[in-house]
Chain A
């Protein structure tokens, strides 16, 4: 999870740089007084694990993020006084916001539904987790506090100027625009980003080794493809096409999440041994058919995570070994034959010659030369 923190920090710095370059944004009202301390850029510490953690909050950037209206203590519920005590429990994403009402239901806003789906998934873990479960991703591994429209420096004046005629408050109109335009635009990760995200853990060899060893010791089930999930995807046809930049080829979530309820399903990834998984033996054909409309039972047997490792696929392993050997033998044999042929024929007097006539001008070692 260390990598995720660094990513978060990098994003924060990038947002800072972006904020510096843009015009003043809507103001950030610090009713709770958190900025008294958190406005300082060097507000940070190095953890026991040697990770630099920044506690710096950039009000200009925060005010254009999706959580801009959420007061700090709606999430950081454990802060009761200022200055506060060292934080021992982190922010969980299933708390109910006291200040934000869900406009559809009138209830306090919460990510609880998604959180519950996530907790029930193979990735589910507690916020503070020890042991191997600590390797699993928490909400913030994948989700930071994103800027509404990172590619948009400023909301377009021609729209805002029109809205403000009736809605009067320019700040309100700007925030409203940012919120709605983000939802209208495609904010889903690209296939390459999804593969990168999953590979953050599934390509971490030390992490994989820890889990494989633990599964062996405790004799708990572990997916057959778990050790090679990311690597073998890259070797697969899907992986290759994704690297080409194609968007209509399967990424991790296209197969491992259920498309009937995609946005919820990506949070409740299940192992393939779970019959409810889209890649379980029961559901696999239908999952393939989403793209490969003519897929049948046989097709669903094709390996989307091909690996040449002996433990994974003996057949493929030996095919590659034999192909390699054939290649070496054939090329060496033919080059050897060419050498032998040249030597043998040159012994009898053949030469390389550009001009018309004969190629047998050299003196033969067999005592029979061209009659000149």
Chain B
């Protein structure tokens, strides 16, 4: 396979950061050279363990996700009957929880746990980044920070979905969807914390803000809290659960949030650049891929004599 310019840069940076030995470098370059040009053929032919093949999330991130989603759902479960108190379904829900006064206390307690999870997450990513910078292994493309490339990826992915492109763009560890979702959740959390605190401490907020904005801020927050909550709930139900549960290839569940691992076919399809880093960092994965290429006769003709290359449309990136 002839790597794209972008993929090549990522591979080179990864090899440099991992201080690979000349033997390893030769091994990696050799492996890349015997890959078929059509990346799609790779992920169509790998065997994936649904529980995950390749490391992706640390235990901290998994705990944070766990804390965030359990508190988020429980906050929605307690917040909705508080907001829609008069609705026919709200009364029994409040009664089950011990009455609206209890529901409110539970809601606030859960909010405190969710805020803890936010702080924990911030500490994790800041400290993790600091460590990577110190070790010289930091790579901005491997982070969740949105880059111009994400816009290109989005355009190219849309072209693939409508059939105007033969394969998906070469995306990084975090693709555009994940970046949108991450920042939507981060923004949503901030809104919920801000607006929730304005319900709890209206007098403090009023005294901090300039007089001409105090009332508008409170009005904005009053509207934001339920709207943001409902929007987040709908996004989770219609989009996030689709992406991690219902989408073909992820069905019935992506186990990453528990095991911290992603399946091989998923990594190759949606996070190709990260897969290249996996090849650099993980000798076993190199061996797996080499065995696969040979056993499935996927090695191009000009590399392995007498082995025909399969029909593919080539790399369109």
A residues near B (Cβ < 8 Å) are 237, 240, 243-246, 292, 294-299, 301-303, 306, 313, 315-316, 319-320, 323, 326-327, 330-331, 334-335, 337-338, 340-354, 356-360, 364, 366-371
Contact with A along B30-71 (1 / 0, CB 8 A): 000000001011011111111000000000000000000000
**Which residue of B100, B157, B231 is within 8 Å of A327 (Cβ)?**
B231
Using a CB-CB cutoff of 8 Å, which residues 199-242 of chain B contact chain A?
199, 202-204, 206-207, 209-211, 214-216, 218-220, 222-224, 227, 230-231, 234-235, 238-239, 242
**Which residue of B43, B204, B249 is within 8 Å of A294 (Cβ)?**
B204
**Which residue of A244, A298, A306, A359 is within 8 Å of B214 (Cβ)?**
A298
**Which residue of B158, B162, B248 is within 8 Å of A359 (Cβ)?**
B248
Task: Supply 9 A–B pairs (Cβ within 8 Å), ascending by A.
Answer: A327-B230, A330-B235, A338-B239, A342-B247, A353-B248, A356-B47, A367-B311, A369-B44, A371-B297
**Which residue of B44, B206, B235, B249 is within 8 Å of A302 (Cβ)?**
B206
User: Cβ of A370: which chain B residues have Cβ within 8 Å of it?
Assistant: 44-45
Residue contact A323 to B227, C-beta cutoff 8 Å: yes
Shortest distance from the beta carbon of B212 to any chain A beta carbon, whole Å: 8
User: Would A344 and B160 be within 8 Å (CB), given that A356-B50, A358-B46, A370-B44 are in contact?
Assistant: yes
How far is A347 from B100 in the complex, measured between Cα atoms in Å? 50
User: Cβ of A294: which chain B residues have Cβ within 8 Å of it?
Assistant: 203-204, 207
Q: Does B296 contact A (CB under 8 A)?
A: yes
User: Cβ of B239: which chain A residues have Cβ within 8 Å of it?
Assistant: 334-335, 337-338
Residue contact A340 to B211, C-beta cutoff 8 Å: no
- With both beta carbons as reference points, the residue of chain B lying nearest to A365 in the complex is identified as B163
How far is A330 from B233 in the complex, measured between Cα atoms in Å? 12
Residue contact B227 to A296, C-beta cutoff 8 Å: no
Residue contact B227 to A295, C-beta cutoff 8 Å: no
How far is A356 from B47 in the complex, measured between Cα atoms in Å? 8
Residue contact B202 to A244, C-beta cutoff 8 Å: no
User: Cβ of B227: which chain A residues have Cβ within 8 Å of it?
Assistant: 323, 327
How far is A288 from B68 in the complex, measured between Cα atoms in Å? 37
How far is A343 from B214 in the complex, measured between Cα atoms in Å? 49
Interface SS, B side: helix
Residue contact B313 to A350, C-beta cutoff 8 Å: no
Q: Does B284 contact A (CB under 8 A)?
A: no
How far is A308 from B157 in the complex, measured between Cα atoms in Å? 41
User: Cβ of B248: which chain A residues have Cβ within 8 Å of it?
Assistant: 342, 345-346, 350-353, 359
Residue contact A368 to B85, C-beta cutoff 8 Å: no
Residue contact A335 to B211, C-beta cutoff 8 Å: no
User: Cβ of A292: which chain B residues have Cβ within 8 Å of it?
Assistant: 202-203
Given A319-B223, A345-B247, 14 more pairs with CB closer than 8 A:
A297-B211, A302-B206, A327-B234, A331-B231, A334-B235, A341-B157, A344-B160, A345-B248, A356-B50, A357-B48, A359-B251, A366-B40, A369-B44, A370-B44
Shortest distance from the beta carbon of B140 to any chain A beta carbon, whole Å: 26
User: Cβ of B85: which chain A residues have Cβ within 8 Å of it?
Assistant: 240, 243-244
Residue contact A243 to B44, C-beta cutoff 8 Å: no
How far is A302 from B265 in the complex, measured between Cα atoms in Å? 55
How far is A315 from B209 in the complex, measured between Cα atoms in Å? 17
How far is A294 from B158 in the complex, measured between Cα atoms in Å? 54
Shortest distance from the beta carbon of B141 to any chain A beta carbon, whole Å: 23
**Which residue of B177, B211, B234, B247 is within 8 Å of A331 (Cβ)?**
B234
User: Cβ of B243: which chain A residues have Cβ within 8 Å of it?
Assistant: 338
**Which among A246, A298, A334 has the highest number of chain B CB atoms within 10 Å?**
A298
User: Would A347 and B163 be within 8 Å (CB), given that A292-B203, A298-B206, A356-B49 are in contact?
Assistant: yes
How far is A337 from B48 in the complex, measured between Cα atoms in Å? 26
How far is A319 from B231 in the complex, measured between Cα atoms in Å? 15
Shortest distance from the beta carbon of A323 to any chain B beta carbon, whole Å: 5
- With both beta carbons as reference points, the residue of chain A lying nearest to B40 in the complex is identified as A368
User: Cβ of A350: which chain B residues have Cβ within 8 Å of it?
Assistant: 248-249
How far is A326 from B49 in the complex, measured between Cα atoms in Å? 39
How far is A242 from B218 in the complex, measured between Cα atoms in Å? 20
- With both beta carbons as reference points, the residue of chain A lying nearest to B228 in the complex is identified as A323
User: Cβ of B230: which chain A residues have Cβ within 8 Å of it?
Assistant: 327
How far is A348 from B206 in the complex, measured between Cα atoms in Å? 57
User: Cβ of B235: which chain A residues have Cβ within 8 Å of it?
Assistant: 330-331, 334
Residue contact B199 to A360, C-beta cutoff 8 Å: no
Contact with A along B75-106 (1 / 0, CB 8 A): 00000000001100000000000001100000
**Which among B160, B230, B252, B298 has the highest number of chain A CB atoms within 10 Å?**
B160
Q: Does B136 contact A (CB under 8 A)?
A: no
How far is A298 from B217 in the complex, measured between Cα atoms in Å? 11
Residue contact A326 to B231, C-beta cutoff 8 Å: yes
User: Would A335 and B238 be within 8 Å (CB), given that A301-B206, A342-B247, A358-B48 are in contact?
Assistant: yes
Residue contact B311 to A368, C-beta cutoff 8 Å: yes
**Which among B48, B166, B249 has the highest number of chain A CB atoms within 10 Å?**
B249
How far is A342 from B247 in the complex, measured between Cα atoms in Å? 7
User: Cβ of B46: which chain A residues have Cβ within 8 Å of it?
Assistant: 358
**Which residue of A313, A323, A368 is within 8 Å of B41 (Cβ)?**
A368
How far is A327 from B44 in the complex, measured between Cα atoms in Å? 37
User: Cβ of A315: which chain B residues have Cβ within 8 Å of it?
Assistant: 216, 219-220
User: Cβ of B207: which chain A residues have Cβ within 8 Å of it?
Assistant: 294, 296, 298-299
- With both beta carbons as reference points, the residue of chain A lying nearest to B166 in the complex is identified as A366
How far is A335 from B243 in the complex, measured between Cα atoms in Å? 11
User: Cβ of A334: which chain B residues have Cβ within 8 Å of it?
Assistant: 235, 238-239
User: Would A340 and B86 be within 8 Å (CB), given that A315-B219, A360-B265 are in contact?
Assistant: no
User: Would A359 and B265 be within 8 Å (CB), given that A295-B203, A302-B218, A347-B163 are in contact?
Assistant: yes
How far is A370 from B265 in the complex, measured between Cα atoms in Å? 12
